[in-house]
Structure 1
């Protein structure tokens, strides 16, 4: 029984066509379907039907996030565990929530975000042949990251939601910023043996700080920054690196106000590894290692 990785995010956007143009032409995602209020997108090296869903609503933010599980029986396993802990769980059959979406269970995290576990999403293939493929398709558009990578959320009680993920969903804590009062200000957790698949920062409940795409190396961050500037997308940070996770990163916003990250680097985690602790005094270096400080705007999140 296991949760494999981040599967998808559903974002609110007030202008569906503008957001679709941005994610297809600037980020370089591929549209795989749409209905009256939603557009479904995937990255070029993702095989499943979608990893980003844009939903037309008056505000921006996160509607739900989903993680992929190994087997259909995993949904029963985690539903039983969650309900035994007093958590309300909703069940979706394949294609019920959206065409190609797969069977799923959905529940609310203690920090207010809607989270889903999903199995059996329709496989549509990546842009490479299965026999003698090149390393990368020709003619990609925009930044063209191969896949989504992680989500960074906010909550009023980071200790509580971190414990929830560890105890009920088998996530492992890899790093944390520990406040002088003993409470966790920020945490990073994984299920895929990488530095993190999900993270939390003290802030408003139900908040999306950012979601991230994976790119293959530092030069891809530079190319992503070039693409943003070419398309008139303002950068929040230049390419830099985190202390926590040891990753390298670039931040900017979609037209609705949802923060995007391009991420690379990090490290591999063995089960049982002790989490790394950053002190409150070094929080700036944990988030932006070179600067050693965090702009207050980076800590401002609208749920």
Structure 2
């Protein structure tokens, strides 16, 4: 559901330290489907129930982290309007031509105050989910390969000036605030969760002195049982787990945080409530921040706060 033209998160582009090792991890352990490789050496993936050609792109680099995060909009007309609106707001934009990423139309790229690159696009080739559009079955064998998330769902980014980020996302892109954590002064936000849909969040930000940092990319599972299965598979494959399985207070989702072989954190999660723009944002205070982030433990671990790529 597009409230203001932005449909959903579309793709995340990550840097990895060892491409072969990362391909094994994302293809076999996480269970994403490889959909292509390009002349730049990038490898493309999608989750089994996604219809568009790709939602995760990885490339080898000398440091891990995120290159950019993208949202799909509902039409080329909306893409042109948002490009114009961004420039009118004072945000320079760059046009990335069709085909620069495999099976992806023109993109509008811009940098936000937290130092991250965000993209918008309207067109990506529909490759389907392995089932027909007429009389499909309930699922395909790909739904059982590895952890097998149904989609790439959201990301959490660390950087400065998140109040300026929130203003840009709300005033130009049509997002709205769902939840936030407020520092001891009662005014300044430590973290914000923003949505362009009826999901509890499509993107989130935490205040951090270094710009452009990745905390995690999140992948959706269907049930708490699938989260527990993911934990088993992580243990079998010696994946480094940060925390979980557990539950969030913020968004009420169930979760595991873990690291890919390059140290990029990822999340496998389920749940979270539905929300709408007319809902009052939920506020968490610092005396209850532990329960807000990890509801069962009711405290944060040091890695969760400090380790970013």
Cα distance in 2, alignment partners of residues 151 and 302 from structure 1: 12
1:124 aligns with 2:127: yes
The 3-state SS of whatever aligns with 2:172 is: helix
Query: 1:57 deviation in Å?
Result: 1.0
* Alignment equivalent of 1:193, drawn from 194, 198, 203: 198
- Aligned CA RMSD, in angstroms, stands at 1.2
| 1:74-109, Cα deviation, whole Å (9 max, x unpaired) | 1111111110111110112321x2220112100001
Cα distance in 1, alignment partners of residues 235 and 132 from structure 2: 32
The 3-state SS of whatever aligns with 1:169 is: coil
| 1:226-269, Cα deviation, whole Å (9 max, x unpaired) | 11111111221121100010111011110011101011111111
Query: 1:156 deviation in Å?
Result: 1.8
Cα distance in 2, alignment partners of residues 119 and 209 from structure 1: 26
1:275 counterpart residue number: 281
2:230 counterpart residue number: 224
2:18 counterpart residue number: 15
- Tell me, yes or no, if the aligned pair for 1:49 and 1:124 is still in contact at 8 Å: yes
TM-score by length of 1: 0.97
- Tell me, yes or no, if the aligned pair for 2:113 and 2:160 is still in contact at 8 Å: no
| 1:92-140, Cα deviation, whole Å (9 max, x unpaired) | 2321x22201121000011011000011111111122223222211253
Query: 1:71 deviation in Å?
Result: 0.5
| 1:32-68, Cα deviation, whole Å (9 max, x unpaired) | 1102420001111111110000011111000000000
Query: 1:283 deviation in Å?
Result: 1.0
2:260 counterpart residue number: 254
1:44 counterpart residue number: 48
Which shifted more, 112-121 or 263-272?
A: 263-272
* Alignment equivalent of 1:58, drawn from 47, 56, 62: 62
Cα distance in 2, alignment partners of residues 157 and 218 from structure 1: 35
1:98 counterpart residue number: 101
- Tell me, yes or no, if the aligned pair for 1:128 and 1:134 is still in contact at 8 Å: yes
The 3-state SS of whatever aligns with 2:14 is: strand
Where in structure 2 are there 5+ consecutive unaligned residues?
A: none
Query: 1:160 deviation in Å?
Result: 1.8
Cα distance in 1, alignment partners of residues 271 and 160 from structure 2: 29
Aligned pairs (5 A) from 1:145-160: 145-160=149-164
- Tell me, yes or no, if the aligned pair for 2:113 and 2:162 is still in contact at 8 Å: no
1:2 counterpart residue number: 5
- Tell me, yes or no, if the aligned pair for 1:207 and 1:301 is still in contact at 8 Å: no
1:238 aligns with 2:241: no
| 1:140-181, Cα deviation, whole Å (9 max, x unpaired) | 310011111111011122222112211111111000001122
- Tell me, yes or no, if the aligned pair for 1:111 and 1:206 is still in contact at 8 Å: yes
1:26 counterpart residue number: 29
Say how many residue pairs are matched: 302
1:115 counterpart residue number: 118
